[in-house]
Amino acid sequence: MALQDYFSIPIFFIIFREVTEAAIIVSVLLSFLSQVITDDDAMRKRLSRQVWAGTGLGLLVSLAIGAGFIVVWNMYATNLWAASEGIWVGCFSLVAVLMITVMGVAMLRTNQMQDKWKYKLAKAMDDENARGLSNQSRKYALFLLPLVTVLREGLEAVVFIGGVTFDAEPQSIPAAVIAGALLGMLIGFAIYRGGNKMKLHPFFVGSTCLLLLIAAGLVAKGIAAFEADRWNRLTGAQSDDAGTYDPRVNVWALKCCDPKQPDAGWWSVANALVGWSNVASYWTVGSYILYWGVVSTWMIRSKTRRQKAAVLSASAERPLLASGDDGRVSGEDDDADAYRPVIASSSTLPGGADGATRRHDGYGSVVSGTGAAAAASES
């Protein structure tokens, strides 16, 4: 039995990432509470319960929607696509690639996640003139914030999973979900206990590397599905797994190492992780290389633009820089006793694209470059 018959690796990583972020939110909120409310134990406990309740409800609702979505999707979708399965598999592969890539790269900005949360908390708790917030909302802010965010993260995960689940056997989903959730909660617990001394950065970089490897492999697999569909039409093949290929564009065709065989063992793991196949064409190899090229170019452009922007704003002499802060741009080394919002050269919303220097952060103020902290520190 192949590994991915019982454990879908892409789903594992998606769940893991979403649960980890939810865990970060909880840990930040709980740390905040223990830092700020030092005297009133009862209130602290009450507000802690709000945090847990909001997070828990958010997770439950996401899971319910997710499970329902997956069930319905698998019931109808897999039957509908049988006739031109190759094309549907190909399309969904490419959609999944897009989502995983964007999400993976966004994850790299997690450094700012904690700071963003602290900033949001500051706004929510202390800003008497916060737009649209009633007294009631403020009272339950610690319930609503995690609820809304976890819900959003959860639905995001559901959509991502919908993209990859066509590829996964139904029985491979539960184990992957459970493992991802457990691991995510473990990380969150570690963050809470270990405080900000946890070195999360290498962890997130590592998981993004893995996610992008999976995405690159999915590109090759999607292109292969398109190719197989076309070749099967050309040769009048009765089934999708005719095992033949177009010799005119073939680059390698090995007798061994076929991930689709029942005794494939590690080859099918390789197929899930990096898209390995014993048959490759100019198209699959080319699209794989092209994917890395595009993603690398995007990241390079994005970062160099950000660096230029940072330099530009520095030379424009924004007040904050003159304040003596040494221009630290990473929130990584924040210590627990000051939730001082740290300057982020840009803070990305999860799942969003990076690169703009002026952006609306959704809380009523325009942030640009290093302006986020300026607004915060004025309040």
Partner 1 sequence: MLLSVKSLAVLALAATAAQAAVVTYNWNITYVTANPDGLFERRVVGVNNQFPPPAIDLTLGDTLVINVINSLEEPTSLHSHGLFQIGNNQYDGPAMVTQCPIPPGGNFTYTIPIAQHGTFWIHSHAKGQYVDGLRAPLIIHNTNETYQYDAEYTVALADWYHAQHADMLAQYLSIFNPSGAEPVPQSGLINQASDVKFNFVPGKTYRLRVINMSALSMFHFHIDGHEMQIIEVDGIDVQKTTVTSFPITAAQRYSILVTAKNDTSSNYIMHADMDPAMFDSVPDDLQLNVTGTIVYNAAASLAPIEYSQWDPFNDATLVPVVPEATSEPDQVFALTAAFSVLNDYINKATFNDITYVLPKVPSLYTAMSMGNLSSDPEVYGKYAHPLVIKHNQWIEIVVNNNDPGNHPFHLHGHVFQIVGRGEGIYDPSTPYPSYYNTTNPARRDTVLVPSNENVAIRFKADNPGIWLFHCHIEWHLQAGLAVTFIEAPEVMPSVLTVDQSHYDQCKALGIPFRGNAAGNDGLDLNGANLGPDPLTGKFTAKGIVALVFTIISALLGLATVIWYAHEDDAQIAADMAKAKAKANREEEAN
Residues at the contact surface with partner 1, assessed by CB under 8 A: 105, 108, 111, 201, 204-205, 208-209, 212-213, 216, 234-237, 242, 244, 247-248, 251-256, 274, 280, 285, 288-289, 291-293, 295-296, 299-300, 302-303, 307, 310-312, 314-315, 317, 321, 326-330, 332, 345
Specify the residue, 148 or 253, whose C-beta has the smaller distance to partner 1. Answer: 253
Specify the residue, 85 or 332, whose C-beta has the smaller distance to partner 1. Answer: 332
Specify the residue, 155 or 213, whose C-beta has the smaller distance to partner 1. Answer: 213
The minimum distance between CB 22 and partner 1, in angstroms, equals 21
Task: Please report where in the chains the tokens 């999400």 appear, as a residue.
Answer: 103
The minimum distance between CB 11 and partner 1, in angstroms, equals 21
The minimum distance between CB 209 and partner 1, in angstroms, equals 5
Q: Output Rg (C-alpha) for the chain, integer angstroms.
A: 24
Q: CA-to-CA distance for 104 and 300, rounded, in angstroms? A: 15
Specify the residue, 147 or 273, whose C-beta has the smaller distance to partner 1. Answer: 273
Nearest to 59 by CA among 94, 103, 15: 15
Name every residue whose Cβ is closer than 8 Å to that of residue 176 and which is 6 or more positions away in sequence: 7, 8, 9, 11, 12, 15, 168
Name every residue whose Cβ is closer than 8 Å to that of residue 207 and which is 6 or more positions away in sequence: 13, 16, 17, 104, 107
For every residue of 229-290, DSSP letters joined together read: HHHHHHHT-SSTT-----TTSEEEE-SS--TTSTT-THHHHHHHHH---SEEEHHHHHHHHH
Specify the residue, 131 or 255, whose C-beta has the smaller distance to partner 1. Answer: 255
Contacts by 201-204 with C-beta closer than 8 Å and gap 24+?
A: 201/111, 201/332, 204/107, 204/108, 204/110, 204/111
Specify the residue, 84 or 278, whose C-beta has the smaller distance to partner 1. Answer: 278
The minimum distance between CB 76 and partner 1, in angstroms, equals 30
For every residue of 133-200, DSSP letters joined together read: --HHHHHTHHHHHHHHHHHHHHHHHHHHHHHHHTTS-GGGHHHHHHHHHHHHHHHHHHHHHHGGGS-H
Specify the residue, 30 or 273, whose C-beta has the smaller distance to partner 1. Answer: 273
The minimum distance between CB 186 and partner 1, in angstroms, equals 22
The minimum distance between CB 97 and partner 1, in angstroms, equals 13
Specify the residue, 125 or 356, whose C-beta has the smaller distance to partner 1. Answer: 356
The minimum distance between CB 283 and partner 1, in angstroms, equals 11
Task: Please report where in the chains the tokens 């192949």 appear, as a residue.
Answer: 2
The minimum distance between CB 367 and partner 1, in angstroms, equals 18
The minimum distance between CB 49 and partner 1, in angstroms, equals 36
Specify the residue, 66 or 354, whose C-beta has the smaller distance to partner 1. Answer: 354
Specify the residue, 154 or 371, whose C-beta has the smaller distance to partner 1. Answer: 371
Cβ pair 218, 96 in contact under 8 A: yes
Token pair listed for 283: 């198209």
The minimum distance between CB 324 and partner 1, in angstroms, equals 13
Name every residue whose Cβ is closer than 8 Å to that of residue 108 and which is 6 or more positions away in sequence: 204, 205, 208
DSSP 353: P
Query: What is the CA angle 360-364-368, rounded to 5?
Result: 35
Cβ pair 303, 295 in contact under 8 A: no
Name the residue type at position 77: A
Helix (H, G, I), strand (E, B) or coil at 34: helix
